[in-house]
Chains A and B, each alone.
Chain A
């Protein structure tokens, strides 16, 4: 009796104040984002305009220096390399992931889940361990060089580890599922009779792909590209282990500033520069490809 009346009173309160009702539902979400996303972001924004403290931390003195410092060719090179690697990774994964997703989506039903399972399987171990595994395969005395030497294809080991190529391979390997899954989802929805219609109207397989399959799976292509590109820009573990010191990415730079270099302000500034460029790139990409509508369709 008591409880019911309390419930009714709460409901009546919400009816009189509809805005509080919406807020009460959103509160946990707002709380979560506020504490774990917005607050750190604001902190970093503030830090990026301060001077570094003598023993780490920050000194409360305003400065532009952290941003100005970035114009140094050294850092611009890192920035450029980061975007080159991320872009290439995305392109490679599109080229590899699309046929893969297509094949899975068109496989017999009983095979489909097994194949999807295999795509996700690598997630069962941490990507740190998987990256170490790649080190064992790629290094001068590693599996691949041994194999090539054994087959007498090469005499001296080829340097594969600690190159940009190794980073590319490592990132592509880690992010493959992020490309394949959205592509699979959009290809699987594609009505096979549309493909037949295209062929019926005179389209060769290539033309059919260009004019029907690709436009109709655009949402998957966009989603997959974004899901791969955005996180790969911030990679640091893979590039650290497979790229070494020679092929530093901006993720490593940020990690370095917050870690050993103890320069939080510069690390923060680097993060914000990265974030701004990614935002602009993504915005431009969506604008250019008319993808906003396509992504909304996915929802």
Chain B
């Protein structure tokens, strides 16, 4: 495996606040890697440590297998796209892009070519002579990107680069960024608090909470197999249950939930009879049928609809399964499915779900 960036036990404290706590990460060359978490989780600090704006209190940072922990930002082959873009207001777009090249003592004619290429890359061909304040937010964002990419860094660091754009533009830029990254093959480390953004763009995601890594994995792993309640809650939406294991066999776990439901869960190592466990189910995993019909899935219960929300392309129902257990269910509106049936508040319905859709969470 070709490692681009490696963090070994990196810790950063500010006074008595630990912003990054024993972070261990290996990021592959050419990977689109996201640091995802709520504000204050340490994701930006981690990025700034890689950039060199902060020095680790403990641990080592390796870029291209070289320890750069105590190197200044200008000595590292990484570049940053800042959240505020940080374009130099006194320089033109071309001047901004040239800034780093001038430091590298690039020959004049080559520089001209590189600047033009960078402008083409971000589709700002004609904008070289403009000043940053004459550009829209999206264009400024592209200039920031071009300014960093023109230096061909080993790693490109992006600190919530789309945060200031409106929703439509953000969606478009997500796709554009992703395809750009695939084309040029530079390692991207992308900081965001937007879980959807991270899921769409990343090869791998590190979910962070309280300065620690909560889980590292592919978007699918993170979404389908969250390890902790925090991850399950932060990424998408989840229904949480807890209960006591009543029986363990080869294929199934049997569990009695706190609300008294007898449930079947997938087998899990390290779980024994009598143990109290937490697990989650994604709201789109449920099947909801009129009470009179039957489902062939392992878990099925009769519940009562207590709320419904119309969202255009889908319906959200809140269903009480037991006096203590309410679940949220997302139903896509499909033309062909029988689920076309719309339920009303107060209706009794049959809710069923597959054994394997229950994800057991670490305590």
Contact = CB atoms under 8 A, between A and B. Distances in A.
A196 B72 CA distance: 11
Nearest to A294: B90
B99 A211 contact: yes
Contact of A193 (B78, B86, B90): B86
A197 B90 contact: no
A188 to B, nearest CB: 16
Nearest to A218: B90
A191 B99 CA distance: 17
A207 B84 CA distance: 22
A216 interface: yes
Given A215-B90, A216-B89, A200 B79 contact: yes
A193 B82 contact: yes
A258 to B, nearest CB: 46
A204 to B, nearest CB: 6
Interface string A174-213: 0000000000000000010110111111111001000110
B74 A191 contact: no
B74 A194 contact: no
Contacts of A207: 103
Contacts of B73: 196, 199-200
Interface string B344-360: 00000000000000000
A201 B72 contact: no
Contacts of A197: 80, 82, 86-88
Contacts of B104: 202
B72 A198 contact: no
B80 A200 contact: yes
Contact of B88 (A200, A204, A212): A212
Contact of B86 (A196, A203, A204, A215): A196
A193 B80 CA distance: 11
A284 B74 CA distance: 38
Contacts of B80: 196-197, 200
A202 B90 contact: no
Interface in B72-104: 72-74, 78-80, 82, 84, 86-90, 99-100, 103-104
B74 A200 contact: yes
Interface string A44-66: 00000000000000000000000
A207 B101 CA distance: 13
A201 B151 contact: yes
B297 interface: no
Contacts, number: 57
Contact of B103 (A193, A196, A201, A215): A201
B108 to A, nearest CB: 17
Q: Please classify how large the interface on chain A is, using the bins under 10, 10 to 19, 20 to 34, 35 or more.
A: 10 to 19
Contacts of B103: 201-203, 207
B147 interface: yes
A216 B147 CA distance: 19
A194 B74 CA distance: 14
Contacts of A191: 84, 86
B51 interface: yes
B118 to A, nearest CB: 13
A199 B103 CA distance: 10
A216 B151 contact: no
B317 to A, nearest CB: 46
A168 to B, nearest CB: 33
Nearest to B78: A200
Interface in B257-275: none
In the complex, which of the residues B53, B73, B89 has the most CB atoms of chain A within 10 Å of its own CB atom? B73
Contacts of A198: 88, 99
Interface string B40-61: 0000000000011100000000
Interface in A125-174: none
A211 B74 CA distance: 15
Contacts of B84: 191, 193
Contacts of B100: 201-202
B74 A196 contact: no
A194 B86 contact: yes
Nearest to B82: A193
Contacts of A202: 74, 100, 103-104, 151
A199 B99 contact: no
Contacts of B99: 198, 201, 203, 211
A207 B99 CA distance: 11
Contact of B74 (A193, A203, A212): A203
A216 B88 CA distance: 9
Contacts of A215: 90
Contacts of A199: 52-53, 72-74
B82 A196 contact: yes
A202 B103 CA distance: 6
Contacts of B148: 200-201
Nearest to A192: B86
Interface in A274-297: none
Nearest to A193: B86
Given A191-B84, A193-B82, A200 B90 contact: no
| A-B complex: 6 closest residue pairs judged by Cβ atoms | A201-B100, A197-B86, A202-B103, A193-B86, A199-B73, A200-B80
Interface of B: 51-53, 72-74, 78-80, 82, 84, 86-90, 99-100, 103-104, 147-148, 151
Interface of A: 191, 193-194, 196-204, 207, 211-212, 215-216
6 contacts: A198-B99, A199-B52, A200-B78, A201-B99, A207-B103, A212-B88
Given A197-B80, A198-B88, A200-B52, 7 more contacts: A191-B86, A194-B86, A196-B53, A200-B148, A202-B104, A203-B99, A204-B74
